[in-house]
């Protein structure tokens, strides 16, 4: 499973990228707005910090506008992945960009039917939002299971399932259990994955025992 960081905070991204555990980044207009910095300045910096896909979202809602903005975004760096909404216009733009060899992340997916359309349109990634589904009383992870099952029925589908709107480590674990290709998560959730009180307790005991020996390594 690939791990993407869902953030536009370059300091957080740089810190996590240094671990070697980050395979890409997803952004959106809301995340970039929180930085208070110029959009393209932030995007260029993120693309330098990671070698994997960096999803940059268009703001146009019509096909011509989406393609125009996508062309500008693709000029930023070779690892830019165009993020498009799962709308009729977004799917049409996806098909056009995919035919040109561009990577596209179709976002705001909330049903298996939508995921089928994203794959048909040639998307590199489809982003089902599990947390937002959970918020309205639906089972977000059931959607992931359904999409993966459908995609496995059609080997010609090349679209990877990018689990988005992740709220906690259990979302990541369940997505991995189901076989999702990618999980994108806020920095805090990625850091939570390593934490366990028994790990901390065990390390504390090991270090205390070692200190009693009076020895040193190196």
CA distance 148 to 39: 34
Cα separation, 32 vs 41, in Å, equals 10
Q: How far apart are the first and last CA of the chain?
A: 36
Is residue 2 annotated as part of the catalytic site, yes or no? no
- Active-site choice (34, 83, 103, 120): 83
> 194 φ, ψ to 5°?
-85, -15
Structural tokens at position 131: 């947390």
Tokens linked to 196: 């366990």
- For residue 179 the two structure tokens come to 């076989």
Calculate the CA dihedral of residues 168, 170, 176, 177 and round it to 10 degrees: -160
Q: What are phi and psi for residue 85, nearest 5 degrees?
A: -75, 150
Catalytic residues: 83
């Amino acid at each position: 499973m690939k791990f993407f960081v869902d953030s536009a905070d370059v300091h957080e991204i740089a810190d996590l990228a240094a671990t070697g555990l980050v395979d890409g980044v997803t952004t959106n207009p809301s995340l970039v707005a929180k930085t208070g910095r110029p959009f393209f300045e932030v995007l260029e910096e993120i693309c330098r910090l990671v070698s994997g896909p960096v999803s940059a979202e268009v703001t146009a809602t019509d096909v011509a506008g989406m393609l125009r903005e996508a062309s500008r975004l693709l000029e930023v760096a070779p690892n830019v992945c165009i993020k498009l909404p799962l709308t009729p216009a977004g799917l049409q733009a996806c098909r056009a960009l995919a035919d040109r060899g561009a990577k596209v992340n179709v976002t705001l997916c909330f049903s298996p039917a939508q995921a089928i359309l994203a794959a048909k349109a040639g998307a590199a990634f489809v982003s089902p939002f599990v947390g937002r589904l959970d918020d309205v009383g639906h089972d977000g992870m059931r959607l992931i299971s359904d999409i993966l099952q459908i995609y496995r029925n059609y080997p010609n589908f090349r679209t990877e399932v990018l689990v988005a709107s992740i709220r906690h480590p259990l979302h990541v674990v369940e997505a991995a259990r189901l076989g999702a290709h990618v999980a994108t998560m806020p920095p805090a959730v990625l850091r939570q994955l390593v934490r366990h009180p028994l790990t901390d307790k065990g390390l504390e005991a090991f270090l205390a025992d070692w200190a009693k020996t009076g020895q040193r390594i190196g």
